[in-house]
Amino acid sequence: MQARTGFTVVVCDQAGCCPKPGRREVLAALRAVVRTHPYGVLIRSGCLFQALRGEVSPCSHGGVHQAGPGAFVLVQRCDTALRPLGSPVVAGPLHEADDTAALCEWLKKGIDAGEPLPFHLRPVALGHDG
Ligand SMILES: [Zn+2]
Residues 119, 123, 126: CA angle, nearest 5 degrees: 140
- In the chain, how many domains are there? 1
Residue 1 lies in a domain: no
pLDDT in the model for residue 17: 87
Q: Residue 128: inside a domain, yes or no?
A: no
Residue 125's pLDDT band (boundaries 50, 70, 90)? Answer: low
Is residue 39 situated within a structural domain? yes
Domain at 68, CATH number: 3.40.30
Q: How confident is the model at residue 56 (pLDDT cuts 50, 70, 90)?
A: confident
| 68: CB partners within 8 A, 6+ apart | 18, 19, 20, 59, 60, 93
d(CA 90, CA 69): 14
pLDDT at 2: 75
Going from the Cα of 17 to the center of ligand 1, the distance in angstroms, rounded, reads 4
Near ion ligand 1, which residues have CB within 5 Å? 12, 17, 47, 59, 61
Q: Where on the phi/psi map is residue 97: left (φ > 0), alpha (ψ -120 to 50), or beta?
A: alpha
Residue 47 has pLDDT above 70, yes or no: yes
- Say if 126 falls within a structural domain: no
Range of the domain at 108: 6-121
Task: Indicate the average pLDDT of the chain.
Answer: 86
| Ligand 1 centroid – CA 48 distance (Å) | 5
Q: How far apart are CA 115 and CA 111, in angstroms?
A: 6
Answer whether residue 128 shows pLDDT above 50: no
pLDDT band at 36 (very low <50, low <70, confident <90, very high): very high
